[in-house]
Amino acid sequence: MAGAPPGVAVSAMKSLFAYDEGAALAAVTVPVRLLNADWRSTNLEAARRHKQDVELTVMPRVGHFLMAEDPEEFNRLLARAVRELTSGGL
């Protein structure tokens, strides 16, 4: 985004500030699995206020782009989550 025209950046920021995360999460009709880095905490309790079936897996020693920083571990954890969800009858 650093190289984007100012109009694109302004539009993106306006959309970001107007986004209602709680409503978006509550509208999801399937179980949610979060795969997040440990560099910033995840408020799982807040997510569960809007959606009960939310589970969190934390990847250590990665930053914002966890899928690029440790693709093997990311893919392993993603595959595990997909297996768990699909074996549950989804």
Interval 27-62: pLDDT, tens: 999 999 999 999 888 999 999 999 999 999 999 999
pLDDT of residue 89 exceeding 60, the answer is no
Higher pLDDT among residues 22 and 1, named by residue:
22
Q: Is the pTM of this model over 0.75?
A: no
Indicate whether 1 belongs to any domain.
no
Indicate whether 77 belongs to any domain.
yes
Average pLDDT, the chain: 90
CB atoms within 10 A of CB 36: 16
Indicate whether 45 belongs to any domain.
yes
Indicate whether 74 belongs to any domain.
yes
Domain ranges, residue 74: 6-87
State how far the Cα of 41 lies from the Cα of 81, in Å rounded to an integer: 20
54-59/32-37 β-pairing: parallel
pLDDT of residue 90 exceeding 80, the answer is no
What is the CA angle 23-83-86, rounded to 5? 60
Residue with token string 């595990």: 80
Indicate whether 21 belongs to any domain.
yes
Q: What is the pLDDT of residue 88?
A: 66
If one counts the domains in the chain, the total is 1
User: CB under 8 Å, gap of 24 or more: what pairs does 43-47 form?
Assistant: none
Indicate whether 47 belongs to any domain.
yes
Indicate whether 30 belongs to any domain.
yes
